[in-house]
Amino acid sequence: MIKEVKSEKEMKIFGARLGALLVGGAVVELVGDVGAGKTTLTKGIAVGLGVNEDVQSPSFTISRVYEARDGLNLAHYDFYRLQDAGIMADELNEAIHHPTSIIIIEWGSIVEGVLPIDRLTIKIESPAESDRRLTIMSNGPISQSIEEKL
Ligand SMILES: Nc1ncnc2c1ncn2[C@@H]1O[C@H](COP(=O)(O)OP(=O)(O)OP(=O)(O)O)[C@@H](O)[C@H]1O
Ligand SMILES: [Mg+2]
């Protein structure tokens, strides 16, 4: 599906709606240029997941984990600065198979090999200053059931 948002606020509201639908084991891959709004969307998702902390971009730390509602945790990754997937690919693979984890990934192409087929992929394009076009794709039972409810 395609979703257009007109402002940072709308992006966060959409994220919160998505976050409310996510279940343990869900993987969300965010695709888009620098400044597209991947981390902004993640902040909204965190709200919908009941995360109380302030979500910060994990570009320097590569990953950050937050406690969420219902005994879930949100693991947010940003592989932009990673030259070699190495041990991070193993860590991600472990997190992906954790039933109470929800995974959000920015700049995931370096870890493509460990990304599950069943993931929600959201491509963010920026046609104008604060307009964003989200193309949402699902490929498997977990991600499809989330997309259907959006
Ligand atoms: N509709 C919108 N949705 C999201 N962000 C918007 C929107 N309009 C303007 N912005 C601005 O665009 C920027 C998005 O930054 P953000 O850190 O979310 O991008 P990113 O895709 O995570 O980039 P990076 O690849 O560097 O991690 C912010 O400065 C935000 O205020
Ligand atoms: Mg970011």
CATH class of 2-149: alpha beta
Buried-exposed string 44-58: b where 16+ CB fall within 10 A, e elsewhere: bbbbbbebeeebebb
Report strand pairing: 131-137 vs 120-128: antiparallel
What are the pLDDT digits (tens) for 34-61? 999 999 999 999 999 999 999 999 988 8
What are the pLDDT digits (tens) for 87-124? 889 999 999 989 999 999 999 999 999 999 999 999 99
Q: How far does the centroid of ligand 1 lie from the alpha carbon of residue 84, in Å?
A: 25
Report strand pairing: 2-5 vs 120-128: unpaired
**Within 6 Å (CB) of ligand 1, which residues are found?**
5, 7-8, 11, 32, 34-40, 57, 59, 78, 80, 106, 130, 132
Cα 18 to Cα 41: distance, rounded to the nearest angstrom: 9
